[in-house]
Amino acid sequence: MISRLLLHASESKKLEHTVSRSRLTRGLVKRYVAGNTLDDALAVTAALKKKNIDVSLDLLGESVTDLIESERATKEYVEAIQAIPRHVPGSTISVKPSQLGMLVDKDACARNLSVLLAAAAENDVLVEVDMEQSAVGPSTLEAYRALLPKYTDTRVAMQAAVRRTQDDLESFTEHKPRIRLVKGAFKETLAVAVQDKDEVTYRYLKMSEWALANLPDPAFGTHDDRCINHVKATAERLGVDRRNFEFQMLYGVRRKLWTELVQEGYRVRIYLPYGTAWYPYLMRRMAERPANLLLFMRSLVGG
Ligand code: FDA
């Protein structure tokens, strides 16, 4: 119930205005976001790399309503792509199609995505496509499918909670996708996605088995011990080497576990957001952990 309220709040422009101006939210933002600029993100990335932890850079911003904004985001992403080989090789970028204009003009979004992928290929950087709310999910997959034959290493996030995900996964026949399996962070109807947390986890476990058995280099985006332990045990049972898949986690969540996994010989990549448009991202993080609700309410009252 609380989670759904917070997810609802993540879409409210009025609340965004209040929360973004509150000084008390800053501590929360700092926990989950590297900073306002690319340089802030590169500094955090370099520090993580020293601990053998990789990063995927996420320029904050989503659901843009005009194409100028989407072109600006594309340009900023190209800057990040060009900085990676020089400063933090091995890092990837994570992009949200709605930030590249998917809700305004699908063709423009596809063009922006092509620009990013071409720049990424030139700089030897891999791109990960985030999966957003169901209003953009099918078009995201369509765009990904069209680009996959040319950019075969591109990763796409797939949401275990969403009912069509397993069918979508099996629909890739010629080129197998590299995926990031996640539970799903968006508010969806019962028709689109499973809502019961245990059922979502069960689906995650089943899909992780399928991914390890059928897909190249899968990534598992989760902080849930049940999912992580299941992935480890399944990989062991199937004889998949620890270096042939990776765990991904969000910056600010379960830091100790990152180093523990690295010490056990697993690959770990941290999803690292930067930029000023942090409101919807932060609200989804709050929804995942209602214990943060008190902090958040204080930031509203105090702000
Ligand atoms: P669960 O929510 O059960 O959390 C397990 C434990 O992790 C909690 O008990 C708590 O200890 C800790 N935890 C989880 N979230 C926390 C938080 N916000 N703050 C503090 N502690 C927390 N979703 C999506 O729809 N599309 C996408 O593209 C992505 N991309 C993505 C990338 C990466 C690298 C990750 C890790 C996650 C995503 N997600 C996502 C988000 C994902 O769908 C999901 O909402 C979160 O990962 C939370 O689910 P868990 O699997 O961690 O389990």
Neighbours of 192 (CB within 10 A): 19
Beta strands in 125-194 (DSSP E): 127-129, 155-159, 178-182
Phi, psi dihedrals of residue 116, rounded to the nearest 5°: -60, -45
The alpha-carbon radius of gyration of the chain (Å, integer) is 18
User: Ligand 1 center to residue 285 CA distance, Å?
Assistant: 7
- Please determine, looking at this structure, whether the domain spanning 34-277 carries the CATH number 2.40.50.100: no
For residue 301, the model assigns a pLDDT of 61
Catalytic positions, written as ranges = 130, 180
Going by C-alpha positions, the residue among 204, 200, 210 that lies closest to residue 181 is: 204
Digit-coded pLDDT (tens) for 95-128: 999 999 999 999 999 999 999 999 999 999 999 9
User: Ligand 1 center to residue 288 CA distance, Å?
Assistant: 7
- Report CA-CA distances (Å) from 65 to 1, 130, 141, 180: 29, 18, 20, 27
Q: Using most ligand atoms within 8 A of CB, pick from 254, 288, 294, 296 the residue to mutate for ligand 1.
A: 288
Q: How far apart are CA 31 and CA 128, in angstroms?
A: 23
Joined together, the tokens standing for residue 153 give 């290493």
Q: Are 102 and 140 in contact (CB under 8 A)?
A: yes
For residue 197, the model assigns a pLDDT of 95
User: Ligand 1 center to residue 107 CA distance, Å?
Assistant: 31
For residue 303, the model assigns a pLDDT of 45
Q: Where are the domains of the chain?
A: 34-277
Q: Which residues line ligand 1 (CB under 6 A)?
A: 130-131, 157, 159, 180, 182-186, 221-224, 227, 248-250, 253-254, 271, 285, 288-289
Digit-coded pLDDT (tens) for 173-227: 999 999 999 999 998 999 999 999 999 999 999 999 999 999 999 999 999 999 9
Digit-coded pLDDT (tens) for 265-285: 999 999 999 998 888 898 888
Q: Using most ligand atoms within 8 A of CB, pick from 253, 270, 295 the residue to mutate for ligand 1.
A: 253
Phi, psi dihedrals of residue 188, rounded to the nearest 5°: -130, 160
Q: Whose CA is nearest to atom 4 of ligand 1?
A: 224
Q: Which numbered atom of ligand 1 lies nearest the CA of 186? A: 25
User: Ligand 1 center to residue 127 CA distance, Å?
Assistant: 20
For residue 13, the model assigns a pLDDT of 72
Distant-in-sequence contacts of 190-199, Cβ < 8 A, 24+ apart: 191/163, 192/134, 192/162, 192/163, 193/134, 193/159, 193/161, 193/162, 193/163, 194/161, 194/163, 195/161
- Please tell me the pTM assigned to this model: 0.93
Q: Are 156 and 144 in contact (CB under 8 A)?
A: yes
For residue 156, the model assigns a pLDDT of 98
